[in-house]
Amino acid sequence: MNNLWNVGVARRDITSQEPIALAGWGSDRISTGTLHPIWAKAIAMQDKQGTTAVLVTTDLLGLSRDMSEELVARASEKFGLQREQLIINSSHNHAGPVTGDLLHLYYELGSPELETIERYTAWLLDEIEAVIGEALNTLEPATLTYEPGLCGFGVNRRRAHGKAYRELPQVVDHDVPVLAVRDGNQNLRAVVFGYACHPTSYAIPKLCGDWPGFAQIEIEDAFPGSTALFVAGCGGDINPFPRFGRYHEELPQMTGKLLAAAVANVLERDMQPIESNLSLQFEEVSLDLEPAPNKEELQAMRAAARAEYGESIRTREVDLQLSHLEEGPLTQTVPFPIHVWQIDTLRFIALSGEPVVDYSLRFKGQYGFSNTWVAGYCNELTAYIPSLRVRREGGYEGVSGMMEYGWPSAFDESIEERIASSVDELINKGN
């Protein structure tokens, strides 16, 4: 059989066993319990030539660059994986733990909370390393099939945030890419699925996976013996609606059920066979920033932020740049890892950071809506990644969200073409 692969699947429970600061909302919340476990899961795929790739998914907000680079180094040392062979995707879960130095400007925590985060992060990195090894050690013959579905709860939040933004376009991507792994008896072993939307429907201080976590639970209940792995798409400017309000606790479960139903609809119909051919490409590009503010401009920004917000994340993010300025010129570029995996006819494009939905729509329009899967939130949580349209519109995802990520200024208008050019080069290189 030309579509015969070797596939390994593994999972590790990465739920904190002690109360821990929760990530994602820019406030100092401490967990008060667990609604359901959160997971690191991995799928290792090996084609008929022996080329191997490992995709890790986590129910986390993301990984910092330091965390990502450590995991890459471990995977190379322990398992011989090269950079192009490993992708780590985070669901961008806002109901998971704070980890490492990721978005550290958001939080103003005391020593006990920081010590808990340090303990958890060290353990977490060991667990992710372990799940990679377990996936590689459980390779068994399997077939792969692929098909996209649809689900409609994601809404462009730039348009939804108040009357002032109603004139902005309603740009969304409702595709639900689904990759199914079946054994020789056609039993479902694993399903990898995705959606382009923030997991921000749950803000009660209990650990869980928000709607992606509930979707995984629903799929695994519907298909016993399978492992469901969620891949976050280009949802930097997309939120689930409705959210919060009267049905706050029920909404993430309801939304997860909707997505699981969309996945089940795909699994229950004929899907496109994926032949056993794997081509892996990787590049880290440099994205240019606008000229950084000088010391006087930063001091004026700090005074304005303090007057409006008091001592807060807004003053901390300016203080960081002032401290960097004491050491030398502020940075003018941002490193940006990009993967392109060509899994037979399926193009899997993995972008770092929080890319807005335009990237998904652009690449699917360019390379094919039926056989192109564009993921965001891969490897490291770099920053919001605006398209040219969003950069020119400005606002949070376009301009003002950069300093909370530790960057001194917004991306310049070359960003979209720089990313698109690299993706095109990687696709052509893999053909």
Structure tokens at 303: 């005074």
Q: Where are the beta strands (DSSP E) in 310-383?
A: 333-343, 346-351, 354-355, 372-375
**pLDDT value of position 427:** 97
Name the helix (H) or strand (E) containing 169.
none
Q: Are 347 and 358 in contact (CB under 8 A)?
A: no
Give me the pLDDT at residue 430, please.
81
Rounded to whole angstroms, the Cα distance separating 273 from 156 reads 33
User: b/e per residue, 129-150, with b = 16+ CB within 10 A?
Assistant: bebbbbbbeebeebbbbbbbbe
Could you state, in order of their start, the residue ranges of all structural domains in the chain? 4-282+335-430, 293-327
In the numeric block, the tokens 């340090």 are attached to 118
User: What is the rounded distance in angstroms from the CA atom of residue 222 to the CA atom of residue 216?
Assistant: 10
63 to 40, 68, 402: CA distances (angstroms) = 12, 6, 17
Alpha-carbon gap, residue 323 to 315, rounded angstroms: 12
Structure tokens at 318: 């300016």
Task: Tell me how many degrees the CA angle 294-299-303 measures, rounded to the nearest 5.
Answer: 150
**Pairwise CA distance, residues 229 & 179, whole Å:** 10
Angstrom distance (rounded) from CA 256 to CA 129: 28
- By three-state DSSP, how is residue 285 classified? strand
Asked whether the beta carbons of 119 and 17 are under 8 A apart, the reply is: no
C-alpha span between 16 and 115 (Å, rounded): 13
pLDDT for res 131: 98
Q: What is the DSSP letter of 248?
A: T
The residue with tokens 């130095």 is 101
What per-residue confidence (pLDDT) applies to 41?
Answer: 98
> Pairing mode, if any, of strands 346-351 and 333-343?
antiparallel
Angstrom distance (rounded) from CA 348 to CA 314: 37
Asked whether 319 and 312 are in contact (CB, 8 A), the reply is no
List of residues 6+ apart from 213 with CB closer than 8 A: 36, 38, 39, 59, 91, 93, 95, 199, 230, 252, 256
Let me know how long the chain is. 431
Q: Is the dihedral of CA 94, 97, 103, 107 positive or negative?
A: positive
The tokens describing 134, both together, are: 């377990």
Mean pLDDT, consecutive 10-residue stretches, the chain (431 aa), reads 85 97 84 95 97 98 98 98 98 96 91 96 98 98 98 89 68 97 95 97 89 98 98 96 75 95 97 97 98 96 93 94 95 97 98 98 97 98 97 93 96 98 95 81
Q: Residue 179's closest CA among 93, 83, 89?
A: 89
Q: What crossing angle do the helices spanning 111-136 and 65-79 adopt, rounded to 10°? A: 30
Do 16 and 97 meet the contact criterion of CB atoms below 8 Å apart?
yes
For residues 179 and 341, give the distance between their C-alpha atoms in angstroms, rounded to a whole number: 14
Q: Are strands 346-351 and 372-375 parallel, antiparallel or unpaired?
A: parallel
Q: How many CA atoms lie within 13 A of 197 on its CB side?
A: 30
**Strand pairing partners for 89?**
57, 378
User: CA angle, corner 372, sides to 66 and 63, nearest 5?
Assistant: 15
